[in-house]
């Protein structure tokens, strides 16, 4: 009985993962976000993790492989996005300092 509940819960978690992944795809396909947008990256990560969770109850090895790859690639994208945003902040501060604009430190 408990396993049936957990199995059904895993189905719902997996469906939420599908929805998040599809929302991410819709947002990027309609140019609402770019690939280096944190919302897009996190939708992909969370969606894939939720799908992976559901796969532990409904095992499908090829699907596990693609979800692990999806999560790994999304974390690479997250790292890249954070790095780009940090660089942008540093460049903005340096430009402000070069033009004599006061900058909070």
Asked if the model's pLDDT at residue 60 lies above 70, the reply is yes
Asked if the model's pLDDT at residue 101 lies above 80, the reply is no
Q: What band does 98 get if pLDDT is binned at 50, 70 and 90?
A: confident
How far lies 80's CA from each of 35, 77, 105, in Å?
A: 10, 5, 25
Mean pLDDT value across residues 50-77: 97
Task: Tell me the angle at which helices 61-98 and 38-55 cross, rounded to the nearest 10 degrees.
Answer: 160
DSSP-assigned letters across all residues of 39-86: HHHHHHHHHHHHHHHHHTTS--HHHHHHHHHHHHHHHHHHHHHHHHHH
Only one residue has tokens 């049936």, namely 4
Please give the model's pTM, rounded to 2 decimal places. 0.83
3-state SS class at 29: helix
Domain boundaries, the chain: 2-98
Q: What band does 1 get if pLDDT is binned at 50, 70 and 90?
A: confident
Q: What band does 100 get if pLDDT is binned at 50, 70 and 90?
A: confident
Which tokens hold the place of 74?
């999304």
Q: What band does 105 get if pLDDT is binned at 50, 70 and 90?
A: low
pLDDT attached to residue 95: 86
Asked if the model's pLDDT at residue 71 lies above 90, the reply is yes
């Amino acid at each position: 009985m408990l396993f049936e509940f957990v199995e059904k819960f895993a189905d719902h978690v997996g469906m939420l993962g599908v929805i998040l992944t599809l929302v991410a795809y819709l947002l990027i396909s309609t140019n609402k976000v770019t690939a280096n947008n944190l919302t897009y990256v996190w939708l992909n990560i969370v969606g894939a993790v939720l799908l992976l969770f559901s796969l532990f109850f409904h095992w499908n090895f090829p699907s596990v492989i693609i979800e692990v790859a999806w999560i790994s690639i999304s974390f690479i994208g997250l790292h890249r996005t954070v790095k780009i945003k940090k660089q942008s902040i540093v460049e903005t501060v340096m430009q402000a300092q070069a033009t004599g604009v006061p900058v909070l430190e």
